[in-house]
Amino acid sequence: MQLSNLSRKEEPMLSRTMVLGTLEFEKSTPSYNEVTALLASQLKTDEKLIAIRHVYSHFGAKKARVEAYLYSDEAKKQLIEPKVKVKKDKKAKEPAKK
């Protein structure tokens, strides 16, 4: 997996940097966690400061376009990024019927 054509755009009002790049991969489209780890190693920063917005891939192509944000600190990221909803287990919630 290789990340190339990195471009950066500073967004000082939100204390972040938009990072755009092209991702080349061998098998299936990588997960957001794999892309975050690769981006953190290339930018030499902590994975906690990176938020992947989109990974756009095309059918049959082994390339994808990546949009991500690099935040200045974790508090800003928690404030700005949308919260991930946790799915609840319905079976555990229902009381036993007799």
Check residues 88 and 3 and name the one with the higher pLDDT: 3
| Dist CA 71 CA 83 (whole Å) | 16
Residue ranges of domains in the chain, CATH in brackets = 2-93 (3.30.70.330)
Contacts 24+ apart (CB under 8 A), 55-62: 55/23, 55/29, 55/30, 57/29, 62/24, 62/25, 62/26
User: What is the SS3 assignment for 87?
Assistant: coil
pLDDT band at 97 (very low <50, low <70, confident <90, very high): low
pLDDT digits (tens, 9 = 90+) for 70-88: 998 888 888 888 877 777 7
Model confidence, pTM: 0.77
Asked if 57 and 64 touch (Cβ cutoff 8 Å), the reply is: yes
pLDDT for 24-63, tens place per residue?
Answer: 999 888 888 999 999 999 989 998 999 999 999 988 889 9
Pick 14 or 93 by higher pLDDT.
14
